Every structure is written in C-alpha cells, then in structure tokens.
Structure 1
Amino acid sequence: MLIGLTMRITENTSYVEYRDSISHDWINYLSNYGISPILLPNYSADIQSFMASISLSGIIISGGDSIIDNPTNHTENIYHQRDISELSILENGIRMGLPILGTCRGFQLINKFFKGAITSNISKSKDHPVASNHNINILTNPIIPEFSDSEVSVNSYHDDGICMDDLSKCLKPFATWENTLVEGFYHPNLPILGIQWHPERTTSSNGLDEALFNYWIELCNS
C-alpha cells in the first residue's frame, strides 16, 4: 500500500537552503502497518500531475508548525508556503476520492479547507496543556464505536486548536477536550478523518490509535 505523506519545510540557516523533511517516527510508525510512504513535496510545480502519476491509496497530512493566513516575517512565509502546498494536496486528494488523515497541523488544515476556524495560543486562552499527555472524551460515533462515551489519554504538542463553535459545519466531532476544543473529527460523506494529536509519537497503550488507524486503513483498502 502506498500512502502519500506531507512534510514540513525546514531551513538550513548556515547557507540558506530550504528542505522538505519528515520525522523518522512517521516512517517507523507506518512500517508497523506494512505501509510504504510516498513523500509529497512542497513547491511542486504541478502537484496534481505528480499525484496522478503514482498509485496512492490515501494521504496523510502531517503535523508540525503553524498555519499562517497572513505571513508577516520570514519564518511565517515558510509556513505559509506549506499551507499552499498542502491545501492543493488536500483538494486534489478529495478530487481523486482518496482517504485522507490529518494529524495535529493537518487536522487544523482540513478544518480550514472546509471553512472552519483555528484559535491560537490555547495554552493561555483555554488553559490547554502543551507538551504533555491529557485526557479527551470520545463521543458516540460510527468511526470507533467501541470507544464511544469513554475517556482516553493522548499526547499534546500544539498551541493552536479548534474550538467547538469553530469546527466546520461539514465535519462531525468524535473527540473533545473538556467540551471546549475538538480533538477528533470525521467527514460524514467523504473518507476524511482528523485528530489533533500525534499517533506516531504516542506511548499510550489504550488501543485508541491502533483502532483509528485500522479504521483508516480499511478506507484505503476499500
């Protein structure tokens, strides 16, 4: 199975070179499921033709960095270029009928694509924990019904988030934090799933990530 995997943009400041990069955690995580990732570049001249030239079964929009609507400095310009690339990848993936999984930043990008909003600095404005584990509530849902109405622990590496009222009307929540922030959503009519945490970094043994990923793989195989 070939899965397209997006990357962050990093900069080598010693001689100003921009690079696409991905954590080894993702490669190791996907190998556990027998998945060979195809790394999807930023700055592609024709991402639609590139994606059409390979037989993808699905797309993962990975995490890292922030989504920037109106860049005002050099670093934000780099982040914004990734926004442009990934929104194009997402649009083409939907057009191709591919299952899509968004994690952390990718989760937020999907909400933005469907006209939802993102709130910054949630560690201060919402007292949300960062760089630690915290509990989330799993709502009654058709995605992982065995976890419905339960509380599980996930990691948190984000200081941007989606407030309950800011989730796109096209998306349905299946996980929340203290009835304040959305932690997981799905699209009722498209094979799209989003989670705010990083499954590739997890050390949890509660089985949630495995259940979610197996569900998504079934979508990719269908």
Structure 2
Amino acid sequence: MNKLIIGISPRFSHDYNSDYHYVRINIDYLNQVIHRDAIPFILYDGPNIDAALQMCDGFIIIGGDDINPKFYNENNDNNLSKGIEEITDSIDQKILNYAISHHIPTLGICRGIQAMAAFMNGSLYQDIYFANLNHPQENKKHYVTKVSNTKLTSLLPESFLVNSYHHQSVKDLPDGFITTFVNQDVIEAIEHQTLPLIGIQWHPERFYTNESKIIFDYFFDLIKEYKK
C-alpha cells in the first residue's frame, strides 16, 4: 500500500559566526506525520519545487517568524513584524497556491494560519498587543471557544485549553473562510468553506491532548478522502 506523503514547509537559520545556513523544523511536526504511518517530506524553494509539490498528498505549513506585511498591503514602519525571511514567505506562498489550485488538504499552524490570511487577500494584526486586543496568554495557555459548526468543530468541545506562542493574528479573513474558534478578541482557528484548508493559531503538534489528536486525525482523514 502506498503511504501518504505530507509536504512540510521548513524554516531557516543563519549562523553568522560560521556563515552556515540551516533548514530547521521542530520534530513534533514530523512525529505527527510518522505516527500516522505517513512520510514527512520537507520542501525547499529550489528549481524542482513544482515537481516536489506534485508528489504530496497533503501539506502542513508550520510556525515560524513573521510574514512580510507587504503581502497584505501594510508596511513595517513600527518594526512590529520580526524575523522576516523572503525564502520562508516564498515557500509558504507556493505551497498555498498549489494547494488551492489542486485542492490539496492543507493544515496551517501558527504562522501557517497567518500565511493563509496574508497570501489569500486577508490581513494580520502585526502585533496583537500594539493593537490593544484582549488576549491573555498566562503561562502560554488559554481556552478557545467554538463559534461555527463544521465537520471538524463537531468533533471538538465547545471550549478547550490550548497552548499559545504568538504575537500576531488574523485580522481580516480571506474570501471563503469562516472563523471556527476564538479567544477573546483573537481568531484562533479558521476553515475554508469549499477548499480543504484548515488554519490553527495554537500548536496542536506539541500539545498532547485529545483535541490535538482529533485535529490531526481529521486532517489525515481529509487527505485520504481527497486522494480517492
């Protein structure tokens, strides 16, 4: 039986002391794929990126530093957006464009949900505290509350605890998306109404709860459904 191949967007580091450049990814993302008997495939924005994308049955766009605000028609005059990397923006955008045009199930986590907004004509709050949003993150955890009914949200409680490691969030939803979970003033999860795109602001890959398992199980069921 052929195993599912899950394309994962990497992040990048530069050691200025040695001038080494690194591709990096939290192993928790890989483990979520491996534990479901699938193959994690780390994508890189090189000459063969189109061929690499065609090999994938699903995509995970992972967390990371901030997206260049030019993609949602803002500047960075207040230096609110940090760690901007052109190569990171490029690979995430190419993954999303391919996923949209070929209806490939995609899970955006943390920066990943923000990529869905930024690259699909939505927008972001460059800093939720600068924008005076009510979003307590005591001990890097808080509760999220369901605000829409979908196949995925029907499997989840009305409210549950999640982790929280972000300073940006979705501001304006792109066309076709609905908000599914919120915390106070912050959008915490979104889903597209006709495409298999799911965005999660927290990090279910490293928050080992039943809700996290449900999210990943649902995502992999979605991949199998679209692969038929």
TM-score band by shorter chain is 0.7 to 0.9
Unmatched 5+ residue regions in structure 2? 71-75
SS in 2 for 1:122: coil
Consecutive unaligned residues in structure 1, runs of 5 or more: none
Q: Quick check: 1:174–1:186 contact (8 Å CA) kept in 2?
A: yes
Matched, 1:37 2:40: yes
Could you say which residue in structure 2 is the equivalent of 1:12? 15
SS at 2:174 equivalent: coil
Figure out how many residues of one structure are paired with residues of the other and give that number: 212
Distance change >3 Å, CA 146–CA 27, structure 1 → 2: closer
1:145 aligns with 2:148: no
Q: State the distance in 2 between where 1:121 and 1:94 align.
A: 28
For the 8 Å contact 2:204–2:212, the answer to whether it is kept is yes
- Which residue number in structure 2 is paired with residue 90 of structure 1? 96
1:26-79: CA deviations, max 9, x gaps?
2223222222200011x3124212322x2x210000111111135799x96852
CA-to-aligned-CA distance 1:160-190 (integer Å, 9 cap, x gap): 0113xx1223201110112x21111111111
Equivalent of 1:26 in 24, 29, 35: 29
**What aligned pairs does 1:62-141 form with structure 2 within 5 A after superposition?**
62-70=62-70, 79-124=85-130, 125-130=132-137, 132-141=140-149
Cα–Cα, structure 1 residues 135 and 83, in superposed 2: closer, same or farther, change >3 Å? same
Query: TM-score normalised to the size of structure 2?
Result: 0.84
Range that drifts further, 93-102 or 180-189: 93-102
Instruction: Write the letter of the residue equivalent to 2:114.
Output: Q
Deviation readout 1:62-104 (Å, 9 max, x if unpaired): 111111135799x968523211221012101222221011000
Q: SS in structure 1 opposite 2:85?
A: helix
Over the matched positions of the two proteins, sequence identity in percent amounts to 27
Supply the RMSD in Å over aligned alpha carbons.
Answer: 2.2
Which residue number corresponds to residue 169 of structure 2? Answer: 161
Structure 2 CA distance for partners of 1:76 and 1:157, relative to 1, 3 Å: closer
Hey, what's the Cα distance between the residues in 1 that align with 2:35 and 2:52?
26
